[in-house]
Amino acid sequence: MEMRMRRGLLSLILGAFVSTHGSTASDLNPEAIIKITYERNPSIAAARHKLRSAEYNYKLFESEYSQFTPFILGSDLEKSSGRLTVGVRKEFFDGSSVSLNLGNKAEWSAESLKNEQFLEARLEFPLFSSNRKLSRIIRRTFEENELYGARLGYVEQVRWVIRGALEEYYDLICSSQILEVLKGYKSQLESLLGERWVREHPADGEQIEDEISSLDSEIKGWEVVVSSKKVQLQRKMGLESLEGYRIEPVPLGLGENDYYGRHYVEESYEEVVRRAIANDVEIKVLRSVMRAAEEKKLLAEKGRWDIFASLGGQYSYGGGRDYSFSVGLNIKRFDKSVLNYSLLKAEEDILNVRARIRDRELEIAARIRQEKGEAENRRRQLESLYESLKSRERLYGLKLERYLKGEETVDNLIRAFRSLLKTHVRCYRVGNYYLDNIRDLDFLCGVYFGKLGIEFGTR
Q: What is the mean pLDDT of each run of 10 residues along the chain (459 residues)?
A: 50 49 62 94 94 86 68 61 78 75 77 78 74 66 79 91 96 94 94 92 94 96 96 94 88 80 93 93 87 79 71 74 75 69 85 94 96 95 94 94 93 95 94 94 91 68
Give dist(CA 369, CA 377) in Å, integer: 12
Q: What confidence score (pLDDT) does residue 342 get? A: 76
- Given a contact cutoff of 8 angstroms between Cβ atoms, the answer to whether 272 and 441 are in contact is yes
Domains of the chain and CATH, by start: 2-68+129-306+335-452 (1.20.1600.10)
DSSP string spanning 190-247? HHHTTSHHHHH-HHHHHHHHHHHHHHHHHHHHHHHHHHHHHHHHHHHHT-S--TT--B
Alpha-carbon gap, residue 153 to 53, rounded angstroms: 13
Amino acid at 427: C
